[in-house]
Structures are given as C-alpha cells and as structure tokens.
Structure 1
Amino acid sequence: MATPAVEPGSGTSAHWIGGERVAGGGEVIEVVNPADGSIVGTVPAGTAADVDRAVAAARAALPGWAGTPVEERIAVAQRISQGLQARAGDIAASITAEMGSPISFSRTVQVGLPIGSSATAAGVAASFPWTEEIGNSLVVREPIGVVGAITPWNYPLHQVVAKVVPALIAGNTVVLKPTEVAPLTAAILAEVAAEAGLPAGAFNVVHGTGPVVGEAIAAHPDVDMVSFTGSTRAGKRVSVVASDTVKRVALELGGKSANVILDDADMGKAVKVGLANAWINGGQTCTAWTRMLVPASRHDEIVEQVVAAAAKYSVGDPTEEKTRIGPMSSTAQQQRVNGYIERGAADGATVAFGGPGAPEGLESGAYVRPTIFANVDPNAVIAQEEIFGPVLSVIPYADEEQAVEIANSTVYGLAGAVFGEQEHAMAVARRLRTGQVDVNGGTFNIAAPFGGYKQSGNGRELGRFGLEEFVETKSIQR
C-alpha cells in the first residue's frame, strides 16, 4: 500500500517523489478558502533541489515504464479513471474549499472532466497508431522522456489529468507542479495512481510557486518536455526558460472569446447559453465567451434579455446547492476583477448589471458582483484583456464583416461561438481565428482537440491529439 500523499485527518500535503511523501523544507504555503478566508491546508514551498530530486526519480523510472507494454499502461490509465470516480466526493469538496467553485459545478464538471478525459485517453490509446508503415519506412511513436507539467487553479484536477494521463500512457514519466492556490487534489491523484499500479517515480509532485519550482522544471536539462497551462504572460516566460535546452513546449494560455450572435439567430437561446458560457466557473475559465457581439440594431433588445437572464444567477456560499457563482479563487483575483470592472465604467461602457464592489451581504469573502457592460467599444481594455471573472461585454457590430473583424481583433484565439441559421453560422465559424468554436450551443467534446491560435498557445490537448503531444516520431528505413 502506498504511503498517503495527504496526512490522514488534515489538509497538510507533501511533495510526492519516487512513490513517497516528502515533507520538503520548513517553509509552507497556506491554502486559503476564498469564501471565508479560513486555512484549509498547507503544502511545502518547494525548491530547485526538490525539483532535482523529482526529476532524478522520474529519469530512473523512465526505462522501466517506457518498456512496459502499452496495453498495461492503458490498463493503469483505466484504473486511474476508476479511482478518481471512487474519490469523486472528496475531490469535489476539496476543489470547492480551495478555490470556490460551487459544489454542484465541482461535482459535475471539476470531477467529471478528469474522470472522462482519463477514460477517453485510455480508449484512444487502444487504437492509436503506435507503429505504421509508409513505403519502406517503419514509423514508430515513442516516449519523449521526462515531462514537466505546470498547471493552474481554475480547473485544478482536470488540467493536471489532461496532461499527466496521456503522457503516462505514451510511456513518459512526469514531474508535476500543481497550482499553489488549489494544490490538494494533486495528492489525491498521486494516491489513486499508486493504487492503480503506476510504479514509483513515474509520477511525481513538487509543490511551490512558479518563479521557483516552475522555472526549475522548465530549465532542467533532464526534463525533455514542458506542458504548461496558465496565463499568456507566464507561458511566455516558460518558453524563454525552456529554450536554453531546446525542449518541447506545449502551451495552453489565455483567451478572450467572442460569442457572435447573427441576425438570424434564436436570440433566446443565444443569450441564455451565451451568458452561461461567459460566467462558467465564475468566469474563471480560459474559454469563457466574455465578448457578446450583437447586431447594432438589436443591441438594446439583447441587453435587456441578458440582464433578465443574469438576475437568475445566485451568488453566495459555494457549498450551497443553489449557488451558481461563488467567490473568486483568491482575494488577489477578486481585486483584479474589481479593477477591470472599475476600468470598464471609467472608460465609458454602460454598466447594465452589477458593477464594482462586493455583492450585498458577501463583503467578507473574495466575492465580486457579476457584471454586464453594454455599448462596449471593441478596442476597450475590458474587450481586449482577459479578466477571468464574471464580466460580460456586449459589443454592437454594423454588419457581418465587422463582426468577424471584431471577433478576431484580440491577441487571443482559444474559443468562441456563433449563433444563427445553421449553415450561415457554420460559414462564420470557419472564419474565426480560434482553436474551437461552438455553433448554436454545440456541446463540449472531450475527445476533440483543445488548444489555441495566436497568443492562446500552441499544441493540443484531449483525445488523440492530446496523446500525440507526448510522443516522439521515429522513421526506420528498411
């Protein structure tokens, strides 16, 4: 039986290196519940020396794990998915306490996504072309080596599993730096992976901050690839640090996604689904549709509809079933979002709903007022920069050409949406410079490639495309 990564009866977590809990040095990072400011746990403040130890463990485990038949690696991934399912209640409660996702959202999405993506990766791997013949060449797909994974706080387990499980299936070993804001579910994953039969050293966890642990992973000469999800600013830094060793870098970064509502759309559906995707997870989602582009002639009508829909969004204690928007993940994030709301009003956008400050009766937590701005200039700060909170900008356009121009006008290109007559909407969707587009509320596909254009990053996650990120390709001529 593996040593637990979390001390029983506490929220105290340790590094996980070589299949064992490792306490680290004396410094710790407190994990704060953003709803009330209470301390829900601690993790060690890792150092470059901790990274060295974890990388050494991963490097030592690499030959054995890479040499394990792929069928056995797939079986481990399947057991990991089953183990996460068995711990679903613990995972949901931990994420809600750590970063404030409403408990209903944590149970369905925060837990459902990693269970689903790990099972999907295992299924894809069974039919993946690990070898193929092209003329006189045998093309072989092999592990890259040691993979460094650096993940964010908004979907703290999903973003980990989307990297770790396909990397492991491909025969790599992994060193993970989870977010220091919501790090505790990484320990649950370590336990589940060990119980699933993953050998010691194949998966390692080093807690700490990005400037210390993240940079040490990105710079390490024995790390062959870095997969990073987070802000564009931090992703640029990872690329720079990793470039000294010319390691592969995969980046999933920020977004400022446009929801283009065409004149022939079902307006009721476009508004309802559009607002839900703007404020999903409190707007703390890289794919959030934070810009609603509407025909200028129907701007006021649509604003009335979206404001009416917004009134149904309850803000409050994330442990309550009825809550749709909880606190921001931290007081720092609360201040950031409030700053953007203040900036939007100061720059002349119309506050149609919400506004600066905390909701009434929720002044003590990291809460903000969900906000809708109307008549937003497409070049305004709130229409160009990623806010990462429940803030929607309604932007009028004169014609379809201008709508496409506005949608493509930011440095980002991660996601988006189009609502309209189906063929018409599909034609507009093809013109958007973004990694994924939902047409008329098309549902999220966990097997489809996920990633961005432009400064939203490179590479793809999930399904077959996510598995391909973690292999090297060799041609053997005969």
Structure 2
Amino acid sequence: MDSRHWIDGAWVTGTERFASINPADGSVVGHAAEGGRAEADAAIGAAHAAFNRPDWAQNPRLRQSVLLGWADRLDAEAEDLARLLTLENGKAIAQSRGEIAGAISEIRYYGGLARHVPSHVLEVEPGVLSTMLREPAGVAALIIPWNAPAVLLARAIGPALACGCTVVVKPAAQTTLLTAAFLRTLSEVPGLPRGVCNMVSETGHAAAARLVDSPLVDVVSFTGSTATGKRIMVAAADTMKKLSLELGGKSCCVVFPDTDTAETAARIATAATIISGQQCTAARRVLVHASAFDAMKTHLRAALAAMTVGNGLDPAIRMGPLIDRPARDQVQTQVERAFDTCDEVLLRGGVPKDSPAAASFLTPSLVAHDDPSAFFCQDEIFGPFVVLERFETEAEAVAKANNTAFGLSASVWTRDGARALRMARALRNGTVWINDHNRLFAEAETGGYRQSGLGRLHGYDAFADFTELKHICQMVGTIG
C-alpha cells in the first residue's frame, strides 16, 4: 500500500517515504510520502485560494452533494477501510468496523446540515436592520490522531466542509495510510473543487508546526494530549486563530450499590480497554460505594483478566496491541510505577509471554487506591490501566471525581433516576453517561471542561468552531 500528499487536487509524491508498521507483528503495511514545511505551505496556499473562490464557500447545495456522495463511496469500501484500520492501528476488527460506520454516519449528518447554517435578521429600531450571518472561518487545519483516525477526522472535516471552510489534513504518521484511503474516496466525488481538501503527511512536526503558525490558516482543530494542545495555543497566539481542541481525560465511573455489580463491571471493563485503553474517554478511574467495593473488586478483576488480547484481525480478539513499541514501553513504565506505590495490585498486566518480538501488546492492569492525588489517579495513562477507589457518600464521590485537571467525560451507574441526574449535574465534565460509557453520536456535541480542551465537535454546535459571526447593520428607513 502506498499514499501520497494531496495538494490542490493532485496526489503528489515527495522525494522521501516512511513505513507504516503493523503493531501486532511489526510487519510493514505500506509506505507514505514524507512531507514538511514546504508541502504544508503548498497545501495551505491551495486551500486559501479555494476558499477565496465562491464555488465552495458560497454554495451549500454543492457542499451537501459532495458530502453525501463521499459517504456513499465510503460505504462501498467500508470493509476494506476497517481492515486497513486494524492493520495500521491494531484495534479489534469489530471496533474498526464500528468506527468506519460511525465516521460515515458523521459525514452524512453534516451533509444533511450543509444547507442549514441559518442566519437571522433583527429590526433593532424603526428602519434599522441588523443581519447576523454565520460565515465559514476560512482555511481549517485538521491535525488528526492515530487512535480513532476515521471518526476523529470525520467529526472535524464534516462541520468544516459543511459550513464552507477549506481544509488541510495532517494525519498521524502511524495511520497515514488509512487517512489517505479515506480521503481518496472524497477526491473521486464529482464536483469537488480543487484545493478544497488537502493532505500532508509526515513523521516529524514541521508540517504541523507550519499549519499552526501560518497566517493563512484561520482555524486549527486538534485532538491529542493536553501538553501538545497547550503548545498549539502558544504557537497560534500570534495569529489569533480559532482553536478547536479536544485534549486529555481521566474519566471516572461512579458506581452505586443498587446496580448489578457483575454486569456493570463487565461493561466498565469494555469501556476501559476500548482501543487498548488508548481513547481519551476510556474508563480510567472506577469510584465504587463502600458497600459494593469488594464485589466490584472481584468482578472487575475477572472481567479485565478475561479480555482476549491478540491480533485485531482475529474476530475472537477483544483487545489488540498498543499503537507502537515506544507507546507500549511508556505505558508499561507508568504502570510499573503505580504497582510500586498503590494500596493494592489487583491485576498485574504486562507483555504476554507469547507476544511477537516486534509487537506492542500489553494486558490490562487494575489497582486499588484511596488517595485521589496519586500520580496514577491524576495523570492520563494512555493504555489499559484502571484504578479502583471507594466512597461513602455522594458528596465524597463528587469531590473525588472532580479532583482532577481534566473534565472530558464521566459516567454514573445507578437505578435511582434522581440520583443519576443529581450526580451528572455535579460532575464537571463535558459528557456524563448514565448506566453506560463511551456512547458517542454524530448528533451529540462532545468536548471538555478545564484542561480537556476548547470547543465542541459532533452535533450542530460544532459549526461554532469553524465559523465566524458577522453583524451587518443597514439603515433602510421606513415608508410614511
């Protein structure tokens, strides 16, 4: 497999390429073009020129047609895309199929909205009209991570294109082939003007840095770590770009004793190991009422230990490898530190004995700890690692759950409807699920409080990240 840069309507190959590696066995999946600042500038220039032409930014019917046509083409290639996603990312094939389906749903959703980005007019005094126009912001740089590259691209490129922006996509090096294959179907849609969508790939950071500091880029949409998001904010300050940032998380599941503990434990284990724990909304802390703590300890340990780990192409596998060896080694180091300092090690995960030498597998770990200020309760450990904590009262549960710099997501598990809503309101998170975890929809906005980011993606409010509001005041007078 091979991918190239997509710039101004053409797929172009640079002088250098890099390999995409399958994290399940270390084999080479394919190669991608290596880019940098020069390619980023060319893509930015193409997107800027395309935005200044009226054939895209001022043509909502064309935008809808292109997005719906793209979704149809993706649908026809869904199984091939899911397989490629598993080859590059390692996730279980069922998760890859679900992600591709979710991405297609997202693009159809924004295709449906492309012709409904409404404005409004007010008569503020006799003969004076104020027209409020929501206009596309301009060129949007979309920096896409490797953990869910299809759906996280779709939730950014969907609203950006639907409202009339032009875009430059910078995929993660580990999943460049998937992103390129995903965008190739867009490049084949009739009517798409050249330069509206561009892609530049790289293993370094030169292209991404140029996207952030270029004066011709109006919006930066980034999903990734809080540390990188902070650096983007600093770098974007000189040009005062709009920023759409979904950053780190340390999601809590708050479990009350009126739930079925065994069933809840099984569902939380699934939420904790999605994408091998490499999802910002994955369940990482499980706060359990003291009366159900011992039962949850038993059931959650068993549920995590039962996770089948292996090559994601095997349909029997529930958890694949981490994205690469450096990531696996970093997570393993953090987990070993936690084992040394936690109150109790309940499940000691590690590298499977039969793991291929070049693979990056890591089995789940579970610890119990009472102090929420411990580093492993505060820091986002991006892998299959879960902390079990106890509480006595609702107030204590809220205090522990909110004792974090993050605020991306949480869940509440109870059969008491009033308690569920009471807890959801008290938790400082952008999303709170009730008796569920990791349920994401195209229609429902997501994003974080505090250091989990800025703005919202998914849903109608995602347009706010890619548009500007213009006030046009006109004195038309009155008759008579």
Normalized against structure 2, the TM-score is what? 0.93
Structure 1 residue 398, shift from structure 2 partner: 2.8
Q: Secondary structure at the match of 1:319?
A: coil
Question: Cα 1:187–1:440, aligned 2, differ >3 Å: closer, same or farther?
Answer: same
Give 2:404's aligned residue.
410
Give 1:216's aligned residue.
210
1:428 maps onto 2:426 in alignment:
no
- CA offsets, 1:262-292, max 9 Å, x none? 2333323322222211111111111011100
Give 1:77's aligned residue.
67
User: Counterparts of 1:64-103 in structure 2 under 5 Å?
Assistant: 64-103=54-93
Give 1:446's aligned residue.
442
Structure 1 residue 390, shift from structure 2 partner: 1.1
Question: Cα 1:210–1:169, aligned 2, differ >3 Å: closer, same or farther?
Answer: farther
Contact 2:2 2:30 in 1 (8 A): yes
Give 1:178's aligned residue.
171
Structure 1 residue 446, shift from structure 2 partner: 2.3
Structure 1 residue 210, shift from structure 2 partner: 5.5
User: Counterparts of 1:235-314 in structure 2 under 5 Å?
Assistant: 235-314=229-308
1:133 to 117, 121, 143: 121
Contact 1:65 1:202 in 2 (8 A): no
- CA offsets, 1:327-369, max 9 Å, x none? 10100111111112101111134221233x3123125210012
Contact 1:349 1:373 in 2 (8 A): yes
Contact 1:307 1:372 in 2 (8 A): yes
Distance in 2 (alpha carbons) for counterparts of 1:274 and 1:369? 16
Gaps of 5+ in 1: 1-10
User: Counterparts of 1:183-194 in structure 2 under 5 Å?
Assistant: 183-194=176-187
Question: Cα 1:154–1:116, aligned 2, differ >3 Å: closer, same or farther?
Answer: same
Aligned AA (1:72): L
Q: CA RMSD in A?
A: 1.5
Contact 2:342 2:367 in 1 (8 A): no
Structure 1 residue 468, shift from structure 2 partner: 2.6
Normalized against structure 1, the TM-score is what? 0.94
Give 2:392's aligned residue.
398
Give 1:13's aligned residue.
3
Contact 2:243 2:465 in 1 (8 A): no
Structure 1 residue 300, shift from structure 2 partner: 1.6
Aligned AA (1:60): A
Following TM superposition, where does structure 1 have runs of at least 4 consecutive aligned residues deviating by more than 6 angstroms? none
Greater Rg, structure 1 or structure 2?
2
Contact 2:246 2:454 in 1 (8 A): yes
Give 1:5's aligned residue.
none
- CA offsets, 1:94-117, max 9 Å, x none? 111111011121112x21121111
Distance in 1 (alpha carbons) for counterparts of 2:221 and 2:461? 14
1:437 maps onto 2:432 in alignment:
yes
Question: Cα 1:293–1:67, aligned 2, differ >3 Å: closer, same or farther?
Answer: closer
Q: Secondary structure at the match of 1:413?
A: coil
Give 1:339's aligned residue.
333
Contact 1:117 1:463 in 2 (8 A): no
Contact 2:140 2:219 in 1 (8 A): yes
Q: How many residues align?
A: 464
Distance in 2 (alpha carbons) for counterparts of 1:222 and 1:194? 23
Distance in 2 (alpha carbons) for counterparts of 1:244 and 1:25? 32
Give 1:6's aligned residue.
none
